[in-house]
Amino acid sequence: MLDLLLRNARAENRSLSLLRSLCDDVGPRFPCTAGDVAAVAWAKEAMREAGLSNVRAEKAPATLWERGVESCMLRLPRLQPTVLSALGGSVGTPEQGLEAPVVMFTSLAELDAAPAELVSGRIVYLHHVMPRLRDGTGYNGGSVVRMSGPSRAAKKGAIACLVRSIGTDSMRAPHTGALFYEPDSPMIPAAALSTPDGDLLARALLAGKEVVSTLKLGCKPLPVGESANVIGELVGSERPEEVVLIGAHLDSWDLGTGALDDGAGCAIAIQVGRLLAALPQRPRRTVRIALFANEELGTGGGLAYASAYAKDAATHIAAFEADQGDGAPWALRLPAGNRESPLGVRLYQALAPLGLELDAGTSRGGVDIAPLRQLGVPFVDLRQDATRYFDFHHTANDLFENVSPEDLARVTEAFALTAHVIANAEERFIPATL
């Protein structure tokens, strides 16, 4: 059956055509916009066409935010316009903008240690350079700088915060992303400079020049709204009450069309459902596809799912998520204590012919399924090659044209095999407490 599944997956890369449709026919899917509404309708139709049943849209809260005008001029002393993007959730500047000298820090620790008089009344620039790594872990530290930096700067008296884009490219295409204001800090405007603009600013400041920035952002937070998780199922033939959950997030930032983040994951998940539905025998357990709402600006969909299914958490045999673009799969990570378990061994044996190695670490899950961790749901990680993912992540270049059809096909195969093995295994994962 695994051989048949793999042959079917290789016969036609339907995940690519699904992704093309989502990008071209729906486009950007920022929460509570027309694109978000269209995406929910698209996902329901795509799931039904793939042969899934019990297709539904379940309400989920969504954080609303409006981008508006964006401009930043640097006086070096020559005038240099920059390319930047407001950070999601940021407040705006006064309508006329604001102007102040820029002070640079290369880490949050350096900012925290600085005297308040060095920061007060200035615009803080955080110059963090993200490394290019296959496992994508360079994003972890960078995202903390982006999310926490504005509040940390505000505590020192800064009037605005700029960050070097959290990305690995050298293009003048800024990387947006969410920030999170701390309740005990003033809310100040914040934006990401494109990496070359950030590097130019850093060189000027390191040369001892006094740089003044004129910043204008028209963004503003809005009241909480409502979106929806889209769910479809392939009901199990023997143990329909037991669930194997495959997740991705349907929303995207507004700059590109969300091809890699996370249109690819949506296409992978739906195609896995299609491949399993086309087999002559249904899986023993139910395979549930969940496309989550509002991951980018608050994880509303993941939280709503965990709340709605908390009483059924014990029936979730495993959960795994596709949220690293089209990256080819290179490693399997299992729940704690399961490297030598019967199901862990069975799963690795199925994936090894695709070139996956067994990662020594413990599975962590993705952002959307993370709220299920406290409910005891076992996670499986299919680690994807993120070498080029953060060139496009959260930018206007997150487009279908930057997707690798070959890599998308390979990762779809790995997700399909994983779902099939877990859904049909006699065993369950060994709980970490045993």
Whether 194 has a pLDDT exceeding 80, the answer reads yes
Model confidence at 19, in pLDDT bands (50, 70, 90)?
very high
Domains of the chain, residue spans: 2-62+224-424, 70-222
CATH 3.50.30.30 fits 70-222, yes or no: yes
User: Considering the chain, what is the average pLDDT of its residues?
Assistant: 97
Predicted confidence (pLDDT) at residue 113 exceeds the cutoff of 90: yes
- What are 231-269's pLDDT values in tens digits? 999 999 999 999 999 999 999 999 999 999 999 999 999
Place of tokens 């000027």: 204
Do 286 and 242 contact (CB within 8 A), yes or no?
yes
**pLDDT, tens digit (0-9, with 9 covering 90-100), for 54-110:** 999 999 999 999 999 999 999 999 999 999 999 999 999 999 999 999 999 999 999
Query: DSSP letter at 354?
Result: G
What was the pLDDT predicted at 129?
Answer: 98
| Torsion 368-374-378-383 (CA) sign | positive
Q: Is 11 exposed, middle or buried (0-12, 13-18, 19+ CB in 10 A)?
A: exposed
Please state the φ and ψ torsions of residue 62, each to the nearest 5 degrees.
Answer: -135, 130
- Digit-coded pLDDT (tens) for 32-50: 999 999 999 999 999 999 9
Q: Given the DSSP bridges, would you call strands 316-321 and 239-249 parallel, antiparallel or unpaired?
A: parallel
pLDDT-derived band of residue 413, with 50, 70 and 90 as boundaries? very high
As a whole number, mean pLDDT of residues 371-399 equals 97
pLDDT band at 434 (very low <50, low <70, confident <90, very high): very low
pTM as predicted = 0.96
Question: Do the first three CATH levels of 2-62+224-424 and 70-222 match, i.e. the same topology?
Answer: no
Pair of tokens at residue 233: 């199922």
pLDDT higher than threshold 70 for residue 433: no
Amino acid occupying residue 188: I
Grouping H, G, I as helix, E, B as strand and the rest as coil, residue 313 is helix
Domain 2-62+224-424, CATH: 3.40.630.10
With a cut of 70, say whether residue 432 has pLDDT above it. no
Q: What is the biggest distance separating any 2 CA atoms in the chain, rounded to whole angstroms?
A: 72
The Cα 22–Cα 16 span in angstroms is 10
Distances (CA, A) of 249 to 13, 229, 231, 261, 293: 21, 9, 11, 8, 6
Region 155-171: mean pLDDT is: 98
**Percent of the chain whose pLDDT exceeds 90:** 97
Cβ(133)–Cβ(157) below 8 Å: no
Q: What is the mean pLDDT of residues 172-196?
A: 97
* Mean pLDDT value of segment 297-310: 97
Does residue 431 surpass a pLDDT of 90?
no
**Lookup: tokens for 250:** 């349907």
First vs last Cα of the chain: how many Å apart?
A: 32
